[in-house]
Structure 1
């Protein structure tokens, strides 16, 4: 359809039909949904009529291609103007083939594989009847108590921006892609705008309060990167911004998102967020919620009835200009047009293709590859890799657990996931070399402990599979104590008494307090929630079929009392390590270190890498010039391996305080034993820019430090000057 035709369609719509176009409901409301008799209850609960459902604009979550086709066909019959529904869903880290959770994907430092995962998810979801995914989540995260850190890609704004772009390219096919022609792509929706990752106390739905400078400098870049990549939609955050809930925040949505950034796509509320302005205390009733949301520029209200009950009345009374409703409806129609829905209402929905494509071997292998790249080796005292001929006792709540998909696993089926036991049994020299002893997650019985100890006595090496159940993470999965359950730590201590090597494999969705594990275990492999083929991927790493190469994208605290703890922090006026620091009156804890247990960028390999002395091509950088930082890296071990060489920069004296280190680049190098690689980075003036106190974006001439190394802590430092 041409825009003129869309304008004509808009003019044909009644005000009631326009308002209904802004309504998003779950499938149970619609004719053609899964089972009969579902519709009556939801209609009564939401207070919407059958006629309003018939005119609704979008549906949230569909059970597959057949249901999608049935709902769309019924809707097209029922809608006076035959305007098709847009179907949307939370396709977060896979549709039916589940990839590692996004935090794990981030640890691969591989935007290419992340883009591939998004493309596969889009292909599976589109043939199953989905048009839009509520992904990626670009919220910068510094507090592991927050359950949704698993849905983020970590604590660095630059790296988060790379991943946001990769997800959008994978879902949408790139800026040159055509969603109307490529039916195997999805429209992406960046979320949660804005700064939801900074919820106070790491508690979901909680207050966010920070300066605009802090938001722009650290929290906004990844959202903007997604929009620059062509992301079609934006979702509002549950939290407040400058004391106003994001869903009703006109300055944030109208002035920044639409006017300053030029976004003219669809803005959707999160689930029920429009009505939540009442408990937030900024709206008296649903009528005022509708008024504030439409004034802020929210186009689609997800699963609350404020628009459908009150927006028509607000327009007719003159309190809301009908032009605001028209703008919102036109943006929705344009999205449907870009998706090709007016010509092909069913778009990619195809039951036969669904059976052939979804959860295919090819897709599962891709998920396994990314899982292997996402695991992070945190400790290894010459225990790993395992010898296939050694007798191994696999013990713990995740030894045989299928709960390895993680939260937001869309249509993933736990029972189809490869367990660690299955993965290891497929590799071990013989079944007699592996004894698997599962146990409970939080309440390990005495009988389970006895079986575990007996198996451990028979073994040469103990592999202890520990972690969090998936319900302990994700949305509403916030925890004040981020250590492993006490029963698991007690089991670890009991097994340690046997004096045998212990390898701990962790399945979890957040950085944990691992002090006890670090003290007791001989090796620690962070596997996260690794997805559908996760057990095979982790087993391959344990037995050395693959060499770990993942690096942390979120710091692991020494203790929860440090939180938030992150690498790109400020120095303070009384830094702990200053040459003239007094013993007490510095910025420090009296009882624990300032530093995390495992820092950003950290991760070990089964081989070792040695960095030669790094060099800079010059000590001075002009505004239009460049410096080359060069370093040689040698594989000094006996196995081939991949190293991620990381570049950080510090602005020593700025107009505003600057972080001690900021990631500005990285290089992946694959080296054979004894092989040396020359790695170089170009440093240019644009890499030194930041938001000044007046919010202007630029650089300051003066002294800088460049750092290079295997992580944010263990680096070489080189000084240079930016000249005017």
Structure 2
């Protein structure tokens, strides 16, 4: 290979660079890219091109122009759906159903692979603890165990194997995890800013999720375009070379995020293209996404003798190995006739929506509804197809979306619908991203007053009010950081006016992030959080409303009482002056003087129908030294109805630790299927008890460990202790 051919394999561009007929989906800043040293027709991969015929056309043209006939790689931002869309990751993670997640990964892979896509950027494994950051919707949430389990299940489903070295068959794709590392810790929840973390926090909280996916055999890792602890992630030798390559033995492709290497110059780390290229390649980046730092910088560095060319060869080999693992050298036109039927997706997506929807609140006047209930259905989310979330909307077929209104009509339920208020925030709709999607719905010419009056009129003659509330899909996702997490004023006003009618009111919440509901929560008899529920969300919601299905999702992220509590998470470190019921009136304890310390809804929270009647007893706890596993056996009983819930096991701060550890830490979950009696066995690997100290040393201490078993981090039903030998 010539130098230009080698460097070309390390460059990724969007389809528009190959011709206007291929188009572009804008997912980053507008760039003025000048390819000085490498021909576009020598580049190695393409970002976000869709449609099998279009991909094949570009591949054919590319191979005709290529001297060595090395096929292009097609990579896609398929986060949680393609043509068919599942609930957002922050919702799916709350299902705690690894078999479901693996099945979803397999379905996503099959749909993408059939379309000719080779690599998907599906797995965002950033731990998130600040809901002001819009991208929390893409994450599995605030908890280390949940993020790791989610990542491992999706990697297995997407790639179809657990072996690092296995080839990927025709019905699967290569998965890429992102954003390595700690992108979810951006300061003040503001997009693209830096994160400043202790090594203790980085090692114990933010890195384990990524590394669990590496252990599962993921083929690609994407670096974050942000700064962590003073060092840009894309040039951090410790993160990339030491931790990822050496300690985790990752031998796959490392790709930078969109324009990340060019931004090394903007942020002041690198003086020019040459410095940025040298730093990134030396640290371990293989592919430069949507910048010409490698294309132009590496060429000049080689000509100056300023870089070791073996680094280029190693990076090229990793890219070519990925293409080989995908079978592209045997068949550059990877794809097949997809036999996945609509029924398969419908069942899987409806199950996903039910298992990830969170019943935040319920009273006797709330849910489930009686079949003969006369309902006033209010709120634009109920009738809008644009309830898929930002990334789910890019490739989605909106004609397939089952809205709540349509599902109620199909079920022949008694209801009257009124929009009630305008769905979109005018500031967001006017943005560049908004222009791509807002046109999917007709502009509303009615005033807010007229819409509210219609809603009040239909509610006056109804038995119960079902009100859809939340944030429109453009208000969360990338580049959607916010300081105000309250509902829009028009929604709050309507909530109060409807409540004044004296009718039972059920709130259905559509959102991509935790919201502040403290002021409006008292007005509702039930609150059902459906997040952005996916293509078949409306059908699943209808089933839950009438008790045909049981909402059984858990919060993967705490819901604060106020923005002033942020960042808030369940596994905080203990204090020497804790707030207790006995010292609540004292001044010199760790508390707010104007608010409870606790969130409105804690991590792991999620009610189910009949949950009040659940009891749990730990029947046996054993430690198997051979398998290095702790086994907790429980008897879970419901006295009234069959239950669908998630049992959770939390490790208490062990007394023998050499540093202060979180007051509690989730170490295992077990989904309970519809039964009255459950004999549950939960295996906890001994490694779940391990930690790093503040010097970076690894510890796994012997001693007595206490586990709390319950239905949320704040709803503990039983306790267990076990002694682990030193």
TM above 0.5, one fold?
A: yes
Q: Distance in 2 between matches of 1:266 and 1:184?
A: 21
Q: Secondary structure at the match of 1:191?
A: strand
Q: Distance in 2 between matches of 1:687 and 1:306?
A: 41
Contact 1:140 1:157 in 2 (8 A): yes
Q: Distance in 2 between matches of 1:322 and 1:717?
A: 59
Contact 2:619 2:633 in 1 (8 A): yes
Q: Distance in 2 between matches of 1:50 and 1:75?
A: 18
What are the within-5 Å matches in structure 2 for residues 455-494 of structure 1?
455-494=458-497
Deviation per residue, 1:547-605 (Å, 9 max, x gap): 11111111111111111111111111211128678811111111011111111111111
Contact 1:187 1:231 in 2 (8 A): yes
Deviation per residue, 1:342-366 (Å, 9 max, x gap): 1100111x5xx26x65x83422332
Q: Structure 1 residues 227 and 107, CA, compared in 2 at 3 Å: closer, same or farther?
A: same
Counterpart in the other structure of 2:90: 103
- Please state how far the C-alpha of 1:652 moved relative to its aligned partner: 3.3
- Of 653, 657, 662, 2:660 maps to 657
Q: Which moved more, 1:577-586 or 1:517-526?
A: 577-586
Q: Distance in 2 between matches of 1:618 and 1:526?
A: 35
What are the within-5 Å matches in structure 2 for residues 325-336 of structure 1?
325-336=312-323
Contact 1:549 1:641 in 2 (8 A): no
Contact 1:245 1:277 in 2 (8 A): yes
Q: Which moved more, 1:248-257 or 1:57-66?
A: 248-257
Q: Which moved more, 1:572-581 or 1:211-220?
A: 572-581
Q: Structure 1 residues 62 and 312, CA, compared in 2 at 3 Å: closer, same or farther?
A: same
Counterpart in the other structure of 1:169: 156
Pair 1:25 & 2:10 matched: no
Counterpart in the other structure of 1:568: 571
Contact 2:174 2:218 in 1 (8 A): yes
Q: Which moved more, 1:219-228 or 1:608-617?
A: 608-617
- Of 404, 409, 413, 1:425 maps to 409
Pair 1:258 & 2:258 matched: no
Counterpart in the other structure of 1:399: 382
Residue segments in structure 1 that go unaligned for 5+ positions in a row: 1-12
Q: Structure 1 residues 106 and 278, CA, compared in 2 at 3 Å: closer, same or farther?
A: same
Counterpart in the other structure of 2:71: 84
Residue segments in structure 2 that go unaligned for 5+ positions in a row: 426-446
Q: Distance in 2 between matches of 1:328 and 1:626?
A: 39
How big is the alpha-carbon RMSD for the aligned residues of Structure 1 and Structure 2? 2.5
Pair 1:512 & 2:515 matched: yes
Pair 1:640 & 2:646 matched: no
Contact 1:620 1:723 in 2 (8 A): no
Contact 1:140 1:198 in 2 (8 A): yes
- Please state how far the C-alpha of 1:52 moved relative to its aligned partner: 1.0
Counterpart in the other structure of 1:147: 134
Counterpart in the other structure of 2:325: 338
Deviation per residue, 1:25-45 (Å, 9 max, x gap): 01111159436x99xxx9993
Q: Distance in 2 between matches of 1:554 and 1:44?
A: 35
Counterpart in the other structure of 1:7: none
What are the within-5 Å matches in structure 2 for residues 277-288 of structure 1?
277-288=264-275
Counterpart in the other structure of 1:200: 187
Contact 1:466 1:505 in 2 (8 A): yes
Counterpart in the other structure of 1:714: 715
Q: Distance in 2 between matches of 1:28 and 1:627?
A: 55
Q: Secondary structure at the match of 1:504?
A: strand
- Please state how far the C-alpha of 1:48 moved relative to its aligned partner: 1.7
Deviation per residue, 1:389-430 (Å, 9 max, x gap): 11101101212111111111141133431111011222244x
Contact 2:704 2:723 in 1 (8 A): yes
Q: Structure 1 residues 640 and 211, CA, compared in 2 at 3 Å: closer, same or farther?
A: same
Contact 2:163 2:216 in 1 (8 A): no
Q: Secondary structure at the match of 2:548?
A: coil
Pair 1:368 & 2:356 matched: no
Q: Distance in 1 between matches of 2:16 and 2:477?
A: 24
- Of 527, 532, 548, 1:529 maps to 532
Q: Structure 1 residues 416 and 43, CA, compared in 2 at 3 Å: closer, same or farther?
A: closer
- Please state how far the C-alpha of 1:532 moved relative to its aligned partner: 0.6
Q: Secondary structure at the match of 1:477?
A: coil
Q: Secondary structure at the match of 1:46?
A: coil
Contact 1:574 1:581 in 2 (8 A): no
Contact 1:291 1:320 in 2 (8 A): yes
Contact 1:421 1:436 in 2 (8 A): no
What are the within-5 Å matches in structure 2 for residues 439-458 of structure 1?
439-441=421-423, 445-458=448-461
Q: Structure 1 residues 245 and 14, CA, compared in 2 at 3 Å: closer, same or farther?
A: same
Q: Secondary structure at the match of 1:679?
A: strand
Q: Secondary structure at the match of 1:275?
A: helix
Pair 1:551 & 2:554 matched: yes
Q: Which moved more, 1:280-289 or 1:506-515?
A: 280-289
Counterpart in the other structure of 2:433: none
- Please state how far the C-alpha of 1:446 moved relative to its aligned partner: 0.5
- Please state how far the C-alpha of 1:179 moved relative to its aligned partner: 7.2
Q: Distance in 1 between matches of 2:170 and 2:654?
A: 50
Q: Distance in 2 between matches of 1:621 and 1:28?
A: 58
Q: Distance in 1 between matches of 2:368 and 2:518?
A: 23
Q: Structure 1 residues 613 and 107, CA, compared in 2 at 3 Å: closer, same or farther?
A: closer
Contact 1:115 1:167 in 2 (8 A): yes
Counterpart in the other structure of 1:10: none
- Please state how far the C-alpha of 1:706 moved relative to its aligned partner: 1.5
Contact 1:179 1:340 in 2 (8 A): no
Q: Distance in 2 between matches of 1:329 and 1:626?
A: 41
- Of 290, 296, 318, 2:277 maps to 290
Q: Structure 1 residues 573 and 670, CA, compared in 2 at 3 Å: closer, same or farther?
A: same
Q: Distance in 2 between matches of 1:283 and 1:51?
A: 22
- Of 194, 202, 219, 1:232 maps to 219
Deviation per residue, 1:251-273 (Å, 9 max, x gap): 22112211222111110000000
- Please state how far the C-alpha of 1:181 moved relative to its aligned partner: 6.2
Q: Which moved more, 1:163-172 or 1:405-414?
A: 405-414
Pair 1:435 & 2:417 matched: yes
Structure 2 length-normalised TM: 0.91
Q: Structure 1 residues 14 and 209, CA, compared in 2 at 3 Å: closer, same or farther?
A: same
Pair 1:503 & 2:506 matched: yes
Q: Distance in 2 between matches of 1:618 and 1:641?
A: 24
Q: Structure 1 residues 600 and 111, CA, compared in 2 at 3 Å: closer, same or farther?
A: same
Q: Secondary structure at the match of 2:361?
A: strand
Counterpart in the other structure of 1:389: 372
Counting matched residue pairs gives 698
